[in-house]
A and B are shown apart, each in its own frame.
Chain A
Amino acid sequence: MTQVELAELSRFLFEPVAIGLLSAAMVAYLYAMSATRIPRPDGTVAAAGRRSEHAGFVLASLGALALGAHIVVRALAAGRMPLGNMFEFSTIIALTTVLVGLVVIVGRLDRADLMGFLLLGSVLTMAAALLVYTEPGPLQQVLGTAWRAIHVSAIVFAAGLFTVAFVFGALYLVRDTAETRLRGPGPASGGSLGAAHAADLSGGEELDTVDGRMWPDAVVAGDLDGVEAEVVAEYRSHMRATIDPWRLAAGTFLGTAAVSWVFWVQGIRAGEAAFGSGFTRFLGINVVMALAAVLAWWAVPFLPSAATLDAMAYRTIAFAFPVWSFAVIAGAIWAEQSWGRYWGWDPKETSAFLTWVAYAGYLHARATRGMKGRNAGWLAIVAFGVLMFTYYGVNLVVSGLHSYAGTV
Chain B
Amino acid sequence: MDVSRRQLAAVLTGAAVAQAQAPTPVSADKEVDDARARQRIAAQTIARVPLPMSTEPAFQFKA
Our verdict on whether A and B bind, yes or no, reads no
Which A residues contact B (CB, under 8 angstroms)?
Answer: none
Which B residues contact A (CB, under 8 angstroms)?
Answer: none
